Structure formats: structure tokens, C-alpha cells
Structure 1
Amino acid sequence: MLMLEAVMNAHAVSYPALQRRLIADRRARALFLPRTTQQVRSHSIFTEIGRAATALAAATAWAALLLLSAA
């Protein structure tokens, strides 16, 4: 029983140790790391333009449908 208690206490994390670990993780996960920031590729720009055009066409179709049904 005493041995089990010693093992459990060895794995206990104190608040300062936890705080140090969290701060170290935050430093490791910076928002603007050079390896994660990338230039926007033209392919993704064309994809977004296509999505916007599709959404605009859908909104126009709904508006036309509502106007035709109201008439």
C-alpha cells in the first residue's frame, strides 16, 4: 500500500509544473511560425472565386424563384 501511494505521488503534477508545461506548449505553438505561414496559392484563390460565384448564382436563383412565385 505504501509503495502504491509513493508511485501515485510521483506522478502527481503540481500547479507550477503544470503551468510551466502549458507555457512551454504555448511557446511551441506560436500563431505565426515561418514553417506554417504560406503564401496563398493561385489555385486556392480560383477555388474561392468559384465558390463565391456558385453562392451568388444560388442566391440569384432563389431571388428569381421568389419573384416568379409572388407574381
Structure 2
Amino acid sequence: MNLSKLASEVKLVLEKVESIRAEEAQEELIEETKSKSMSLERRRSLMNGHQKIIEGIISKTNALEKEWKEAL
């Protein structure tokens, strides 16, 4: 095997390794993005639940305030 053929094969192997590494990095980024997205969805869900609770408290507070004003 001559040196130029060997160098050519080594170059092909290195390009393949680089391609595989790029694919793996992209897959890791996709997984990380999915994880962050799921985390944001959980937070959004919790915030929506908290908002409903707060709206209920405000509604009850307004009703009590109205009753107190009428009682006075």
C-alpha cells in the first residue's frame, strides 16, 4: 500500500469520525432542547394552576368586600 492511498483512507476515516461526532452533538442538543421544553411546559402548567388559585382568592375577596360594604 502506498503512502498516498493510506493518507487518503486516513482522511476518509477522519471525515467519517467528524461526521459522527457532529451527528452525536446534534442529537445531544435535540435531547437537551426537548428536556428544557418539557421543563418549561411543567412550569407553565404550574403557573396556570397558581393563576387559577389566585383568581379564585381575588373573586372571594371581592365578594367578601362587597358583603362588608353592604353590611356597613
Q: Normalised by the size of structure 2, how large is the TM-score?
A: 0.43
Larger Cα-atom Rg = 2
More helix by share: 2
